[in-house]
Amino acid sequence: MPEKPLPPSMGGAAELLDISFDVLTATRVEAQMPVTPDHHQPFGQLHGGVSVVLAESAASVGGYLAAPEGQTAVGVEINANHVRAVSEGTVYAVAEPLHVGSRTHVWDVKIRDTADRLVCVSRCTLAVVTLSNV
């Protein structure tokens, strides 16, 4: 169970890519996503940008849960290293905070395949903002 209510919508890009969330806490978010032709780049492999959407989705939900009541966290910078190609199956993201401050958060996200091999490692910086400003 999340430590505070989830945002009104978990849809958008996450819904389009069929991302689902398994663990939702302020210190760990676990998500998964199928890898289908809809997730591929032109050469039949998981698109790096799709991996980044998965990473930022997991980090942003964690940032929201870690932010004080009435605030959320939104992405301001993300980087990703793609270390293994995936063409099918499911990938699993684990996001954990490296820094949770009053103005910024930094989240580490590791994406692995079904054999637990590292596919992508990402770091996402989030800005903490008042919900009315989003």
Q: Which residues are catalytic?
A: 56
Number of residues that this document lists for the chain: 134
Question: For the CA atoms of the chain, what is the radius of gyration?
Answer: 14
Position 105, amino acid: H
**What is the CA 60 to chain-centroid distance, rounded?**
6
Q: Using a CB cutoff of 8 Å and minimum separation of 24, what contacts does 7-10 make? A: 7/61, 7/64, 7/72, 10/61
CB atoms within 10 A of CB 74: 16
